Amino acid sequence: MSVAVAVDGKLVWTEGFGVAELEQCVPVTPKTKFRIGNTSKPLTSAAVALLHDQKRLDLDAPIQRYVPDFSDKGHIITTRQLLGHLGGIRGYTHADEGRRTMAHESRARCAH
């Protein structure tokens, strides 16, 4: 994770935490680039909360109400389910599983 604090538009503090590249145990720095998926989740959740509070989004309506091109999966999938990763949509391939195992082993090695 990388954190930055700005006061009056001026950057006053930055720091990186954790490991950016597990195979070589490269630490995170304030300049580390991250994949957008992990950083966009809290922003998406905040936007959904605002839309729900404004009564512009029904969390329990089929997702096709808001994304008409989303193909039918044989069962209803709602925004609420997608936000909780409970929609039954797999987000990885078998190749990704191998990378996850390697990443777990590398994390353990970098921690020592």
Which pLDDT tens digit goes with each residue over 56-106? 999 999 999 999 998 888 889 999 988 887 666 665 555 545 555 555 565
What does the pLDDT read at residue 27? Answer: 93
User: Can you say whether the dihedral through the CA atoms of 87, 88, 94, 99 is positive or negative?
Assistant: positive
- Count of other CB atoms within 10 angstroms of residue 90: 7
What does the pLDDT read at residue 60? Answer: 96
Separation between Cα atoms, residue 80 and residue 100, nearest integer Å? 26
What mean pLDDT value characterizes the chain? 82
